[in-house]
């Protein structure tokens, strides 16, 4: 009974923190204290969090190296824009269509490719991502390489906040369920998992589809904030960007992914006016972190109230 009460108190506390955070930012936006520049970076931050957390489900928890995340993002962006811009549907329909299309693509791509392992899987997903991009470039309905202009700006802070919370909730709860334990067992030792009677293909595809759906969601939010989408935006370098966030944060750590997504967005914004130097610093950070801390910032641990409490109390 006592633990149940504690759980409730914790849950209410967490909800309260989120509500305060949400209202505070909403207040800052409506009063105009958070200007256009900060809003752009806030949006990028939220989108990067969704991308990093969802890719972390595939790469970190399931252990399947995917380099095609930008492809799913592109599909989501295009699906949502076709819904809102060309068929005059409300934004929510666009978002759902984005998730659906990216999820279906994740299934179609995942079933054959997830039979491959390690490097080969990485290459195959990279190739699929590029095929999605090149195909979009050749479809006249979406203006080919020029992309779609004049997308209505529908992505607002409530949508972003909601999407981030849903992504994190789904991933965290999935990992803490029996599905999640099966998924982690696939990462730890696929053969042993199979011997224990786990249908490894099923769980790999499941994680891949969920990851792809959230990438699609991120793409839809991206498209409806930045006014323009073109296939070139979603090339494999974008996939690398997301992968970098996941690896810097620590493979298999959701909080790590969030922290890395936030810090990389801040770094990008801070060095906006020196593009070449920014990329050089970015590259050096990658190399140095990999050499001195290959498990990433958080390893596969989570930043929780317990760990915070330990640091606060100064106990080991």
Partner 1 sequence: MLEFIQQLINGLSLGAIYALIALGYTMVYGIIKLINFAHGDIMMVGAFVGYFSLTLFGTNILVAMLAAMLVCAILGVVIEKVAYRPLRNSTRIAALITAIGVSLFLEYATIFALGPAQKIFPDSAFVVRAYDIAGLSILNKDVFVFVSAVGLMIILQYIIKWTKTGKAMRAVSLDQEAAVLMGISVDNTISITFAIGSALAAAAGVMVGVYYNTVNPLMGIIPGLKAFVAAVLGGIGIIPGAMVGGFVMGLLETMVSGYGNSLYRDAVAFGVLILILLIKPTGIFGKDTGEKV
List residues near partner 1 by CB under 8 A.
59, 65, 112-113, 116, 118-120, 122-124, 127-128, 130-131, 134-135, 137-138, 191, 236, 240, 243-244, 247, 251, 276-277, 279-280, 282-287, 290-291, 294
Minimum CB separation of residue 131 from partner 1 in Å reads 5
- Whether 108 and 249 have beta carbons less than 8 Å apart is answered as no
Minimum CB separation of residue 42 from partner 1 in Å reads 26
Nearer to partner 1, 90 or 294 (CB): 294
Residue 302: count of CB within 10 angstroms of its CB: 16
Minimum CB separation of residue 246 from partner 1 in Å reads 9
Residue of 214, 225, 265 lying closest to 241 (CA atoms)? 265
Nearer to partner 1, 4 or 276 (CB): 276
Minimum CB separation of residue 283 from partner 1 in Å reads 4
Nearer to partner 1, 95 or 261 (CB): 261
Nearer to partner 1, 161 or 282 (CB): 282
Output the 3-class SS for the chain: CHHHHHHHHHHHHHHHHHHHHHHHHHHHHHCCCCCHHHHHHHHHHHHHHHHHHHHHHHHHHCCCCCCCHHHHHHHHHHHHHHHHHHHCCCHHHHHHHHHHHHHHHHHHHHHHHCCCCHHHHHHHHHHHHHHHHHHHHCCHHHCHHHCECCCCCCCCHHHHHHHHHHHHHHHHHHHCCHHHHHHHHHHHCHHHHHHCCCCHHHHHHHHHHHHHHHHHHHHHHHHHHHCCECHHHHCHHHHHHHHHHHHHHCCCCHHHHHHHHHHHHHHHHHCCCCHHHHHHHHHHHHHHHHHHCCCCCCCCCCCCHHHHHHHHHCCC
Nearer to partner 1, 85 or 254 (CB): 254
Minimum CB separation of residue 212 from partner 1 in Å reads 17
Minimum CB separation of residue 129 from partner 1 in Å reads 9
Minimum CB separation of residue 290 from partner 1 in Å reads 4
- Whether 234 and 133 have beta carbons less than 8 Å apart is answered as yes
Nearer to partner 1, 126 or 160 (CB): 126
Nearer to partner 1, 81 or 251 (CB): 251
Q: CA 149 to CA 159: how far, in whole Å? A: 21
Minimum CB separation of residue 170 from partner 1 in Å reads 24
Nearer to partner 1, 4 or 195 (CB): 195
């Amino acid at each position: 009974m006592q633990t149940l009460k504690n759980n409730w108190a914790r849950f209410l506390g967490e909800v309260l923190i989120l509500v305060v955070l949400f209202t505070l930012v909403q207040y800052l936006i409506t009063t105009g204290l958070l200007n256009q520049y900060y809003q752009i970076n806030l949006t990028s931050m939220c989108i990067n969090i969704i991308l990093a957390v969802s890719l972390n489900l595939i790469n970190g928890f399931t252990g399947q190296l995917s380099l095609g995340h930008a492809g799913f993002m592109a599909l989501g962006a295009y699906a949502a824009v076709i819904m809102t811009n060309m068929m005059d549907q409300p934004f929510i329909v666009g978002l759902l269509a984005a998730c659906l299309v990216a999820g279906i693509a994740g299934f179609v791509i995942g079933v054959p490719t997830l039979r491959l392992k390690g490097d080969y899987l990485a290459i195959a997903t990279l190739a699929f991502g590029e095929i999605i991009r090149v195909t979009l470039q050749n479809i006249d309905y979406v203006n080919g390489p020029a992309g779609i202009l004049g997308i209505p700006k529908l992505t607002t802070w409530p949508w972003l906040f909601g999407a981030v919370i849903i992504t994190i909730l789904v991933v965290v709860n999935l990992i803490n369920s029996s599905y999640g334990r099966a998924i982690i067992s696939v990462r730890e030792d696929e053969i042993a998992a199979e011997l224990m009677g786990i249908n490894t293909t099923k769980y790999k595809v499941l994680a891949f589809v969920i990851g792809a759906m959230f990438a699609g969601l991120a793409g839809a939010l991206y498209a409806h904030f930045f006014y323009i989408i073109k296939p070139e935006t979603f090339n494999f370098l974008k996939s690398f960007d997301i992968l970098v966030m996941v690896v810097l944060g620590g493979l298999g750590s959701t909080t790590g992914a969030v922290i890395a997504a936030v810090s990389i967005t801040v770094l990008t914004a801070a060095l906006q006016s020196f593009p070449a130097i920014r990329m050089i610093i970015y590259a050096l950070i990658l190399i140095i972190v990999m050499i001195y801390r290959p498990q990433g910032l958080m390893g596969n641990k989570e930043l929780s109230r317990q760990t915070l409490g330990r640091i606060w109390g100064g106990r080991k």
